[in-house]
Chains A and B, each alone.
Chain A
Amino acid sequence: MITGQDEAEAARQLREKIAAQFGRSLHIRTLDTGSCAVCEQEIRLLSAPHYDLHRLGFFFTPAPRHADLLLVTGPMVRAFEVAARKAYEAMPGPKMVVATGACALGGVYRPDPFVHGQVGAVLPVDVWIPGCPPSPLALLHGLSVAVGRLAEKTPGLTLIADGQSPGDGT
């Protein structure tokens, strides 16, 4: 009989084995579901020398069949729904979906006959990266959160300012 503790230990060993065998590399397929292409521009900058995401073991792949992670931008136009589902289904498991940018999170378009308004309406999203567009740094942080290398900061964030600021007029 497996107790909860044994199970946790087995899960930890399996996780370490997977991490060792895959060398912590991760292949990313980007999916543009009707974005204005500024998110794509920021994603493209990730492979430029300044950010160089390959040093972290992340790689872009042109085929969803080779991808571990689907990086989805745009408000999910309805015309793209079938293609998005096919791309997701073509990916081998385990797989992740990362919704990228304010459009993908429902911040720009409302649901109407042409767009779903957010990626979550069609695909099961694992990580949300806000930003319009999210900067390459925000994307690097989001990808690191997705693979569990960095802790997410959002739950501890209040967005309540305290103290004096230069804009204090009253």
Chain B
Amino acid sequence: MPLWFARGLRRGVVTTRYPARPDASAASLPTPPSFRPEKLTRDLVDLMIAVCPGPALRRADDALIFDVGTCTACGRCARAAPYAATPSGEFELAATNRAALVKTIPILGEQR
């Protein structure tokens, strides 16, 4: 018998106190990437835009425009450049303003 079932019977049906307390399962969720501006170059950003299956990434001259709302957290950009993009661990992304989901990340890396 799974442990959570026995625990549920003993203490009641709630097995997570989220959102009052953090949930342990949150650590294993796929999450949108966070970027390291000093590792980003224009070429690398263009590569990330090419591997992104959706419209989540755009480049505006010297900045990477990242629309978190359209990101599916597939991890392709992080696989293409693990030193520049890593899973952010953020999943509580609900927003009452659509524009708040669009993030601007400066491109600070030297062009090689």
A contact residues vs B (CB 8 Å cutoff): 49-52, 55, 102, 105-108, 110, 120, 125-132, 134-135, 137-138, 140-142, 144-146, 150, 152-155, 157-162, 165, 167-170
User: Considering the chains assembled together, what is the distance between the CA atoms of A165 and B85 in angstroms?
Assistant: 10
Q: Does the CB pair B86–A128 fall under 8 Å?
A: no
Of the candidates A51, A52, A137, A146, the one whose C-beta lies within 8 Å of that of B91 is: A137
Contacts known (A102-B71, A135-B29); A154 close to B94, Cβ less than 8 A: yes
Query: Inter-chain contact count A-B, CB under 8 Å?
Result: 155
Restricting to B16-36, which residues have a CB under 8 Å from any CB of A? Answer: 16, 18-19, 23, 25-26, 29, 32-36
CB–CB B19/A141 < 8 A: yes
Which residues of chain B have C-beta atoms less than 8 A from A140's C-beta?
18-19
Interface size on B, residues (CB 8 A): 49
With A105-B70, A169-B83 known, 7 other A-B pairs at CB within 8 A are: A51-B16, A106-B69, A120-B98, A134-B91, A153-B90, A155-B95, A159-B33
Q: Which residues in A have their C-beta under 8 angstroms from that of B55? A: 106-107, 110
B interface residue numbers (CB < 8 A to A): 4, 8, 13-16, 18-19, 23, 25-26, 29, 32-37, 39, 54-56, 66-74, 78, 82-83, 86, 88, 90-98, 100-101, 103, 105
- Report the bound CA distance from A48 to B65 in whole Å: 37
- B74 contact set on A, CB distance < 8 A: 132
> Please, how many angstroms separate the alpha-carbon atoms of A153 and B66 in the complex?
16
Q: Report whether over half of chain A's contact residues are helix, strand or loop; otherwise say mixed.
A: loop
Residue contact B72 to A128, C-beta cutoff 8 Å: no
Q: Please state if A161 and B83 are interface contacts (CB–CB under 8 Å).
A: no
Q: CB distance B100 to A154 under 8 Å?
A: yes
Partner of A107, one of B26, B72, B86, B91: B72
Of the A-B pairs whose beta carbons lie under 8 Å apart in the complex, a sample of 27, sorted by A's number, is: A51-B18, A52-B13, A102-B69, A107-B54, A107-B55, A107-B67, A128-B98, A130-B32, A137-B29, A141-B19, A141-B94, A145-B96, A146-B94, A153-B93, A157-B103, A158-B34, A158-B103, A159-B32, A159-B33, A159-B66, A159-B105, A160-B37, A160-B105, A161-B86, A161-B88, A167-B86, A170-B83
A55 to B14, Cβ gap below 8 A?
Answer: yes
| CA distance in complex: A96, B100 (Å) | 19
